[in-house]
Amino acid sequence: MTVKVQTVCIIGTGLIGGSLALALKQSGFCSRVVGAGRTEATLKKAIELGVIDHYETDFSLAVKDADIVVVAVPLSAMKNVFEQIAPGLSTTAIVTDAGSAKQTVINDAESVFAANANRFVPGHPISGTEKSGVTAAFVELYENRKVILTPTDNTDANALKLVTEMWQATGAEVESMSAQHHDMVLAGTSHLPHILAFGLVDCLNNLKEVDEVFRFAAGGFRDFTRIASSDPVMWRDICLSNREDILDMIKKYQDELQMINNALQDSNGDDLIEIFERAKKARDLFNNQL
């Protein structure tokens, strides 16, 4: 692949940022990847693992020569990071992010970057694992996975094109939609499932028979609750950042559970089979997309 840019700076070199760095280095999209973060030991580990080529703990210095800056930090830290990098950005630098909720990030970017906010391209890679940290990063994370970009009416077209090409270089399939639509969709397909997994494990953990419950857990339980091993801080931030859409999805799910509860109360097998068959049909129909 022909080198598209000289320097990509990734702030936050954990699973998401570190995997992006590895993929960009392998593809030849850029000549150099600079990492930035709060913990020097983590950055040194990223150098040791070949994830990045250089690091800085001063964010404004890290972005000084960057053509593209990718901010891969928890949502609650986004605005603070934007404020730290703003003085060091060149006039042509493009900033993008990897946050799981988009409207709050756009609001933060527009308040910090002001007249230069058109150089910000909001993004969200729909991939990950329950693991975190730079040692969890791997080059294939984004292959055949979706990345959603949520440009605003003011987003620079060339900036959008370059960020699209960056993600495509990792093997990802890139799509665009509005931030509002993204936040509604992800509330149902990602945020609610994580909440349910956390909630179920916490519920069972409070039982006095907890040791036997977990000891005899079968594959279905392991599959459903795997994501409860995800980073609690990251998911706290996601829940608070996309609060309204998540609350709406919780209400819809509560209504569904109430129907199941009513069927059980009435020993109504017909209603149960109708709900289960409807769900199975929907899941089987979209199986190839999951």
Among residues 160, 177, 194, the one where a domain terminates is 177
Give 35-58 pLDDT, tens digit per residue: 999 999 999 999 999 999 999 999
Among residues 127, 148, 177, the one where a domain terminates is 177
Give 62-114 pLDDT, tens digit per residue: 999 999 999 999 999 999 999 999 999 999 999 999 999 999 999 999 999 99
Write down the mean pLDDT value for the chain.
Answer: 94
- The CATH number covering residue 201 comes to 1.10.3660.10
What is the span of the domain harbouring residue 153? 5-177
Please identify which residue in the block is written with the tokens 């997309």: 289
- The CATH number covering residue 46 comes to 3.40.50.720
User: Domains in the chain: how many in total?
Assistant: 2
157 and 243 housed in the same domain: no
Backbone region of residue 254 per phi and psi (left: phi > 0; alpha: psi in -120 to 50; beta: other values): alpha
The H or E element containing residue 225 is: helix 219-225
Query: How many angstroms separate the CA atoms of 281 and 148, rounded?
Result: 27
Give 168-201 pLDDT, tens digit per residue: 999 999 999 999 999 999 999 999 999 999 999 9
Task: Indicate the pTM of the whole model.
Answer: 0.89
130 and 193 housed in the same domain: no
What's the distance, Cα to Cα, between the start and end of the chain in Å? 29
φ, ψ of residue 175 to 5 degrees: the values are -130, 155
